[in-house]
Structure 1
Amino acid sequence: MGHREDLLEGAKRCLLEKGYARTTARDIVAASGANLASIGYHYGSKDALMRQAIIASSEEWGASVAQVPAGGGGAEAGGTDPLERFAAVWDAVLQRISTEREFIAAQVEVLGLLPRDAALREAIGEVLPEGGEGLVAVFEGVPDTEVDPESARIVGSFYQALLTGLMVQSLLTPDAMPSGRDLATALRRVTAGEVLEKK
């Protein structure tokens, strides 16, 4: 790897270890083995590098989530029921959330910075549609190329809202997280008006 790649890897490590706002340029230099001047040369500023780090980390996490086993495809493809797939994928995602707390904490931290950091907000806004498209593909068991823009916008936003909320909830009440089946039950009640069975 060259200095550019080393810096990005170092920034991603700092993101997990120190958080977004607390990471300094010197932290990145120490983690990457590069020199201080190379941050400006390759990225323009420490802030620009950290924006790249949060986006790259999110993309890598999303790509790994896309590999989660979740049974067959939807009912129309002869696989599991769509709600069964919904539950299975969420179980896999929730498992990742529960075991990668540093990553989740960094994501939630960045959410709080968005209202006051226009450059960060713009950078994340540019990749948000792609993230929605990827989530639709994962939950529907299809390639990204089969997700149309309107589905990515509407259904992708739904999945992103659920994912963001679950990330926040995992930091607040980690012992009270729903399961994938719980989420499917909630969705069934919302869409069909089914009353929950009393335990």
Structure 2
Amino acid sequence: MGNREDLLASARRCLQEKGYGRTTARDIATGANVSLAAIGYHYGSKDALLVQALIEAMGDWGESIGAALAGSAEVTDPKERFVRCWDAVRDTFEEHRGLWTVQFEIVGQLAHLPELREQLAGAQKLGRLGLAAMFQGRTEHLDTPEELARGIFYQSLLLGQVAHWLIDPEQAPDGAEILRGLTLVSGETLGAARA
């Protein structure tokens, strides 16, 4: 690996081990065995590097959840598929705890980091479209208003489920609980038959 890749790998380790706010440029440079100046040369700033590390880690989580969701692809009943998918998502949280902790930490700092907010906002649409594709068992990301609406819905559920899990894994909702809530709320909102 070159300096650029070493810095990215070190930044990912630092995010997992120390979080966003406690990671210094020196931590990253030392972990990559490069000079501090290399961060500026390759990424412009420590924040830009950490955002890139976070986006890459989210991509890895996406691959791991995609593999977990692939096991639900053969399920033809939409409700059963929904439950299995959300159970599979919840099962990934322990392995990726650092990633989720860092994301919530960063959200709390966005008001003071406009550059970081802009970078994350730019990646958000792609993340939403990726979630919509994953939960529907597709590999291609369709950029339509309908897919974006699905992605927004899935992202909202995901962040809520993660927050519950980070607070108390034993009380984090499983797929059946999420489906039950969805059924109740959609019935009340859309006037559909109640479950």
**TM-score of the superposed pair, with normalisation by structure 2:** 0.90
SS at match of 2:108: helix
1:140 counterpart residue number: 136
Q: Which residue of 1 aligns with 2:57?
A: 57
Please give the secondary structure, in 2, of the residue aligned with 1:34.
coil
Q: For residue 123 of structure 2, what is the amino acid of its counterpart?
A: V
Shift of 1:27: 0.6
1:106-145 equivalence runs, <5 A: 106-145=102-141
Of 3-12 and 35-44, deviating more is: 35-44
CA distance, structure 2, for counterparts of residue 60 and residue 100 of structure 1: 10
The correspondence of residues 1-199 of structure 1 with structure 2, limited to 5 A, is 1-68=1-68, 69-72=70-73, 79-145=75-141, 147-193=142-188
Separation (CA, whole Å) in 2 of partners of 1:115 and 1:54 = 18
**Cα distance in 2 for residues equivalent to 1:14 and 1:21:** 10
Structure 1 residues 91 and 17: CA distance shift in structure 2, 3 A: same
Alpha-carbon distance between aligned partners in 2 of 1:184 and 1:104, rounded to the nearest angstrom: 23
Deviates more, 1:162-171 or 1:95-104: 95-104
Q: CA separation in 2, counterparts of 1:167 and 1:28? A: 27
> Distance between the aligned counterparts of 1:10 and 1:151, measured in 2?
38
Retained in 1: the 8 A contact 2:132–2:148?
no
Q: Which moved more, 1:63-72 or 1:127-136?
A: 63-72
Q: Summarize the Cα distance change of 1:47–1:148 in structure 2 as closer, same or farther, 3 Å threshold.
A: closer
Report deviation, 1:152: 2.8
Q: Which residue of 2 aligns with 1:76?
A: none
SS at match of 2:63: helix
- In 1, the alpha carbon distance for the partners of 2:45 and 2:139 equals 36
* Superimposed CA distance per residue, residues 17-71 of structure 1 (whole angstroms, 9 cap, x where no aligned partner): 0001110011101221222121111111212211211111112212221221342
CA contact (8 A) 1:9 1:32 kept: yes
Q: Which runs of 5+ in 1 are unaligned?
A: 74-78
SS in 1 for 2:93: helix
Q: Deviations over 1:157-190 (max 9, x none)?
A: 1111111111222121222011111111211222
8 Å contact kept, 2:54–2:99: no
Instruction: State the aligned residue count.
Output: 190
Aligned-residue sequence identity (percent) comes to 42
Q: Distance in 2 between matches of 1:115 and 1:164?
A: 19
Structure 2 runs not aligned, ≥5 long: none
Provide the rounded CA distance (Å) in 2 between the counterparts of 1:105 and 1:179.
20
- The letter of the residue matching 2:178 is L
Residue pair 1:86, 1:180 contacting (<8 A) in 2 also = yes
TM-score (norm 1): 0.88
Separation in 2, partners of 1:40, 1:70? 43
